[in-house]
Each structure stands twice: as C-alpha cells, then as structure tokens.
Amino acid sequence: MPADPSDLRGKVAVVGVADIASPSGRLDKTMAELEAMMVKEALNDAGLTLQDVDGLFTARSESMGTLDLAERLGVHPTVTDTTMTGGSSFEVHVEHAAAALALGLCEVAVVVYASTPRSGGAYRPGQAYRDWNPSRPSPMLEWEQPYGISLPMGAYALAASRHMAEFGTTREDLAEIAVSTRQWAAMNPRARYRDPLTAEEVLASKPLCEPLHKLDCCVVTDGAGAIVLTRADRARQLKQPPAYVLGAGTHHTHSIISQMPDLTVTAGKVSGARAMAMAGIRPADVDVLETYDSFTITALLSIEDLGFCKKGEGGRFVRNGTLRPGGRLPTNTNGGGLSYTHPGMYGIFLLVEAARQIRGTSGQNQVEGVDIAVAHGSGGFLSAMSTVVLGSEATT
C-alpha cells in the first residue's frame, strides 16, 4: 500500500536556527563565508557540530550547490539536495529532509542559504531577467519580454490588477499589508526599515508597475540563514525546545506568468491544504503566519489560498489590523521581506522565524502562546508554493 503522508507528522523537528541581516542592507562577508557562518551558528544553537551533519540542502543555481558547500564545510552527506524552486526552495527542502530523516537516510540535516545582492556587486533591478543565455531555450524571452513586461514586478502587477478587477480589492488594502509588516519590523533591530509607515505613504510612493508602487515591493539586501533538523526522539535531547514538523506540502502550476492558470489563485491552495491535512489542523488553529511577501499582493493571495479567508476577501480580511502586532493573525513577525530583509530568496527566513515563535525566542517580536506556526514559501512568479506547519508538540 502507498505510504500515508500523515505518518510523517511530528517525526522530525527543527532544532537549530540562525539568520543574519543588517539595517544597512549590506554584510561584509562573501556568500561562502555567510553560508559557513550560518551552518555553524545553527548547529551551535542546536548543540550539534559539523561532524553530526549527514544531510545537506541548499539552492544555489550559480554553483555546484551542495557539492561545493560540503567540500568547504568538510562534511560528507548521505543525503544531498539542490532542489531549486526559487523562494520556496527551503520549504521544499524541509519536506524532503523530513522524509529522509524519518526513513533513516540521514541523522542531521542542514538547510542553508546566503546571498549578497547589495555588497556582492552592483545591483540593478530586473538584471537577472535581462541576462538570460540566448543559447538556451527561454519561453520568457520568446513569449513575454518582447512585449515589454517589467520583471519581476510586472508579473505581480498583473496578479494585483486582476484581483482588483475581479474582487474589488483596493490599493489601500495592499498598503495595509506593508504597514502591518513595518510595525513588526519596528521591533526588530536588524530590520532594513524600522521607521513608522502609513498607508498614505505607501500610496504616495513611486509608481513602479501599476498598481504596485515602491513600498508594495520587497527590500533588496544581503542576508543568510540556516536551520537544522533531526528526528523527534533525538530533538528532545538537544539544547532548544523542538519545533516539530507537523505537515508539509508542495505544488506548482506554471513557470512564466502568462501560463498561470488563474492570476488570482496560486498553488498554495493545494500545498497549504496538503500541509494542514497532514498536520491535522485548520487555518483557525494557526497562531502565527510567516508568508512570502516579495510584494504585497503575494501575501494577500497566500492568505486567501491558505484558507484564512475566502477567495476574493483578502482585502477585507487584512483591514483593521488583522496582521499587525496584537491582531488575530500575526503575520511576518520579523518584518518580512517588505521591511526586514530579502536577499533574493526569502523562504529560509520564514522557517527561522516560525521556529523561533514556536520555541518563544523571538525577542520583542514574540507572540504569546504560539503552538502552531505556518511558513509558506513562494517561488518563481507565483509559480511554486510550499507550506510547512511547525508545532510545539509532536502530535496535535
């Protein structure tokens, strides 16, 4: 008989976390240095060492991934994974690591990411999408860019425009997401932006690709993070309270934005439902949501698709401080990609903050009484969604 995915519930836990960012947006280390630093800090957080690591996960398309990383770290993994789905890669890695650990294919798994778009070279918005290798087939170059779409934000602007046209969502609704996230960032001393932000300021910021303005868009910073996972039985013997992996799910629907089946519905509708079913929870059981916010519309679509409100009601749902400190769904409690940090792929930071919220170590940003936290990653152009449910107990 096929395995029951729910058999993974609570079998594996996040036992160590680390991340780094700077209010300046710049870090004075290379990507390789940051990767090694984060791995060692996360292992130290767990009370483990490099000698314990036999599972390694990363998403670096410009190198040999885990082969290069393992060589620099001096480890020899029995499980290695360089799955690349953009910003959701690290939630996918948790799903894969949980399966490998539960099956006994490895004992200690590390997921790590680092990027330095600010200090590592001259940053030019959209440059990566203009520098495709013409010798490789590229549907984006053939079917989209000749028509003048500005990437990446143009893809999200299309989704926002469609949501507004179909459901009456307003720019003020999107602005509320940026404002609520900034309120969380104000309490995070490492956040890129901490100054108070109003909806009026978001609406008045520079138009970049209507209906998205500058403050609807994530920051661009250097940053890095890592998490350590092991089996639940071992996790209970380590330094930190475990954040148990209760559920995980992944789904993707397209690559380029013109092929998205419905601009108002993401693959999170499937990944979220799978993860919550595995965990045995409903959206109402979630205490904290850490969701991808590359743009304000990214977060709004995810809130709907994860089931926190009905499709089309996201604008009304976020009003009245729902996502803010003290709101009924605390969201992106470290300041998110909109105000904390965003070095190109943000998914690792979702996991780090979700685990900290579960174990009660998020400092001023800590939400009281967190038992269930969801980390929801988005990769590509709203293309690949992966959802992880973490809990304070191995079973719900």
Domains and CATH numbers, the chain: 5-120+218-391 (3.40.47.10)
| C-alpha separations of 312 from 167, 181, 269 in Å | 5, 21, 13
Q: What is the pLDDT of residue 79?
A: 97
Question: Crossing angle for the helix pair 31-46 and 66-73, nearest 10 degrees?
Answer: 70
Q: Report the predicted TM-score, pTM, of the whole model to 2 decimal places.
A: 0.95
Kindly give, in sequence order, each residue whose CB lies less than 8 Å from that of residue 71, ignoring residues fewer than 6 positions away: none
Structure tokens at 277: 């079913």
Contact of 55 with 109, CB cutoff 8 Å: yes
Active site residue 340: yes
Q: What is the pLDDT of residue 2?
A: 47
Contact of 314 with 173, CB cutoff 8 Å: yes
Identified catalytic residue from 113, 129, 156, 292: 292
Considering only CA atoms, which of 64, 58, 60 is closest in space to residue 42? 58
Kindly give, in sequence order, each residue whose CB lies less than 8 Å from that of residue 285, ignoring residues fewer than 6 positions away: 372, 396
Considering only CA atoms, which of 357, 348, 380, 270 is closest in space to residue 90? 348
CA–CA dist 159, 380 (Å, integer): 13
Contact of 184 with 335, CB cutoff 8 Å: yes
Secondary structure, 3-state, 136-177: CCCHHHHHCHHHCCCCCHHHHHHHHHHHHHHHCCCHHHHHHH
Structure tokens at 234: 């071992």
Q: What is the pLDDT along the chain (396 residues), one digit of tens a residue?
A: 445 666 789 999 999 999 999 999 999 999 999 999 999 999 999 999 999 999 999 997 566 789 999 999 999 999 999 999 999 999 999 999 999 999 999 999 999 999 999 987 645 555 545 544 555 667 777 777 777 788 899 999 999 999 999 999 999 999 999 999 999 999 999 999 999 999 999 999 999 999 999 999 999 999 999 999 999 999 999 999 999 999 999 999 999 999 999 999 999 999 999 999 999 999 999 999 999 999 999 999 999 999 999 999 999 999 999 999 999 999 999 999 999 999 999 999 999 999 999 999 999 999 999 999 999 999 999 999 999 999 998 654
Contact of 46 with 262, CB cutoff 8 Å: no
Structure tokens at 236: 């209970």
CA–CA dist 293, 300 (Å, integer): 9
Kindly give, in sequence order, each residue whose CB lies less than 8 Å from that of residue 123, ignoring residues fewer than 6 positions away: 117, 220
CA–CA dist 217, 293 (Å, integer): 8
| C-alpha separations of 322 from 149, 259, 308, 356 in Å | 33, 32, 11, 21
Considering only CA atoms, which of 324, 373, 379 is closest in space to residue 353? 373
Q: Give the CA count within 13 Å in the CB-facing half-sphere of 78.
A: 12
Active site residue 292: yes
